[in-house]
Structure 1
Amino acid sequence: MLDSTKQDIIFGTETWINSSIKDSQIFPPGYNIYRNDRNLNGGEVLVAVCDNLISSPVTELQTDYEMVWCKLELVGHNAIYLTSIYNPKTSNKEVYKQFDISMSRATNGKNAFIIAS
C-alpha cells in the first residue's frame, strides 16, 4: 500500500511490533522511522517520515507515556513537531498527566506547531 500511495508522513498506533522487528520489515526504503516499542502485547507507536524531508527524533519530549516524537524542519518555516500517541483502554489519570507534561515541554519557549495522532 505504501508503494502505491507514496505517503510523506505516517502515524501508527497499536503496531504490535517490538525491537526484534526491523524497520525494513515494515516499510520500504525511503522512510525515517521513529518508534516506541512497548515489548508487550498491544500498543507500540511510530511516526514514519519520507527521507526526502528533514526530520529528527525529539527524545526530550518523551515521558513514561506511550508516545514517540520527531521534528520536521521545513526551510523558511518553524519546525513541526509530530507525535503518535497510544491511549490504552485501561488509561487512568496518570496517563493524562504524562501527556500534559510532554505537551508542556513541546510548547515551552517554542513557537511550536504540533501534529498529534
Structure 2
Amino acid sequence: MQQVPEPHRGWTFITSHARVLAAIADDPNARIRDIAARCRLTERAVARIISDLEESGYLSHTRVGRTNTYRIEPDKVLRHPAEAGLPVAALLSLLVQDETARTLAPAAQTDRLQTTG
C-alpha cells in the first residue's frame, strides 16, 4: 500500500468524489478501508460517495467472494455545466498516475530544478 499523506486543513482544488474516483481508477479492487485511508476520509463517507457515483452511472461494481471490483464509465460526462462534454476519462488522466510515474516524479522534479537553477 502506498504512503498516506498527512491530513490537510482548509480548502482544496479536488473534491472528495474526484479523489475516491481516482483511487478506484488506480486500484479497481481497493477496499473501502484502503480508499478511505488514501483519501483521508471516513469509511462511511467513502461508502456514501461510491453510492453517489453508482447512482449517477459513473461507477459500477461486481462482487466476487468478499471483494468488490469497480468499473468506471470513462465516457460518462462530468456533471457541472462548466465541464459540459468533458468525459470522466479526461479528469482521471490528470489525477491518476501509474506506480512508475509516482515513484520517478519526485526524482525527476529534483533533477529539473537542479538543471534550471
> Same-fold call, TM > 0.5?
no
User: Which structure carries more helix by proportion?
Assistant: 2
Pick the structure with greater CA Rg: 2
User: Which structure carries more strand by proportion?
Assistant: 1
Q: TM-score, normalised by structure 1?
A: 0.31
Q: TM-score, normalised by structure 2?
A: 0.31
